[in-house]
Amino acid sequence: MKSLPVYNNQGVQVEEILLDQKIFDGKIHKAVLAQVMLMYQTNRRSGTASTKTRAYVAGGGKKPWRQKGTGRARAGSIRSPLWRKGGIVFGPHPRDYSYTMSKKVRDLALKSMLNDKVQGEKIKVLNEWALDEAKTKKVAAILRALGINEKVLIILEGTGMPVERAARNLDKVKLTTAQQTNAYDLLLSNYLVLSKKAFEELMVRLKQVVG
């Protein structure tokens, strides 16, 4: 049965935790990952691009010149798309690009990303965040002890913890909770660091996917 080492704050292994074979089955559903990643990226689009049609361009209340006798082409308004500074035809307008997928599909993508991290040995489990005060240098020291100097996602078991205030100043660190963790955050991070308690909470959440 597969297992993960558990470290203390000095980077020393103190125990192991067994992995649920139903969750860590080695399967990476690439099609599901692609769909879910596209959803997260699309939902980040602001959709604020906007152009003015001839109905919204200023001016144009008067016919530029008379219909006949000038030798020029007929013109009814300077707001015509044919004119410089006229209206835009088929231009973009504000819209909402966001859409959602079922929680089961999103959690399946998360399960796939966790399997990928385990296969790449990119998950570090701590027995606990033993911080007596919220100091950034202490979190940085823990990450160094774990051999991490890349982008890392730290999963907490809750909010308001000292590590949350201490780690938010580190530029390569992103913080989340076990209930808010998603596949997109895992994809953008090279490493995953979480406490034993947060790992257990995450497993409870994913057990709903495998039944």
Nearest to 92 by CA among 47, 54, 45, 50: 50
Find out whether 28 and 112 touch, Cβ atoms under 8 Å: yes
Give pLDDT, residue 83.
94
Give pLDDT, residue 64.
94
Q: Is 132 left (phi over 0), alpha (psi -120 to 50) or beta?
A: alpha
Enter the tokens of residue 23.
């969750």
CATH 3.40.1370.10 for domain 3-28+101-210: yes
Residues of the chain with CATH 3.40.1370.10: 3-28+101-210
Enter the tokens of residue 46.
């602001």
Give pLDDT, residue 19.
92
Give pLDDT, residue 93.
96
Give pLDDT, residue 31.
96
Whole-angstrom distance, CA of residue 35 vs CA of residue 112: 13
Give the contacts of 162 (CB within 8 A, at least 6 positions apart): 129, 131, 132, 133, 134
Give the contacts of 62 (CB within 8 A, at least 6 positions apart): none
**Tens digit of pLDDT at every position of the chain (211 positions):** 689 999 999 999 999 999 999 999 999 999 999 999 999 999 999 999 999 999 999 988 899 999 999 999 999 999 999 999 999 999 999 999 999 999 999 999 999 999 999 999 999 999 988 777 888 899 999 999 999 999 999 999 877 788 888 888 898 899 999 999 999 999 999 999 999 999 999 999 888 776 6
Q: Helix, strand, coil proportions of the chain in percent (round to 5)?
A: 30, 15, 55
Give pLDDT, residue 1.
63
